[in-house]
């Protein structure tokens, strides 16, 4: 029985002011969405010249007041639309 080995290669810090409750990665675009207790959804994109062993992400979109309370979950459309 071979277990997968995971290691942290990047941390996106300093963007949210409260706990991040959920993230989702879009396999079509490579974008990452975050859902947070600060009522904000943020979208990140890996830079084109990023090193796969030490990726760099840019903040590309922010939805302030995405919910009237904490944003607990975020999910890309599974059909890709």
Query: For 11-54, what is each residue's pLDDT tens digit?
Result: 999 998 899 999 999 988 999 999 999 999 999 999 999 898 88
* Phi, psi values for residue 57, rounded to 5°: -120, 145
**What residue segments make up the domains of the chain, in order of their start?**
20-63
* pTM score of the predicted model: 0.83
Place of tokens 């290669």: 9
How crowded is the C-beta side of 31, counted as CA atoms within 13 Å?
17
How confident is the model at residue 74, as a pLDDT? 95
Give the residue from 32, 6, 7 showing the smallest Cα distance to 20: 32
Helix or strand holding residue 37 (H, E): none
- Per-residue pLDDT band for 81 (boundaries 50, 70, 90) equals low
CA-closest candidate to residue 55, choices 8, 1, 4, 14: 8
């Amino acid at each position: 029985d071979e277990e997968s080995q995971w290691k942290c290669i990047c941390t996106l810090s300093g963007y949210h002011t409260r706990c991040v409750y959920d993230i989702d990665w879009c396999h079509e675009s490579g974008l990452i969405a975050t859902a947070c207790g600060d009522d904000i959804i943020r979208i990140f994109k890996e830079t084109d010249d990023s090193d796969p062993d030490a990726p760099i992400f840019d903040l590309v979109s922010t939805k302030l007041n995405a919910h009237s309370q904490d944003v607990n979950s975020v999910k890309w459309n599974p059909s890709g639309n």
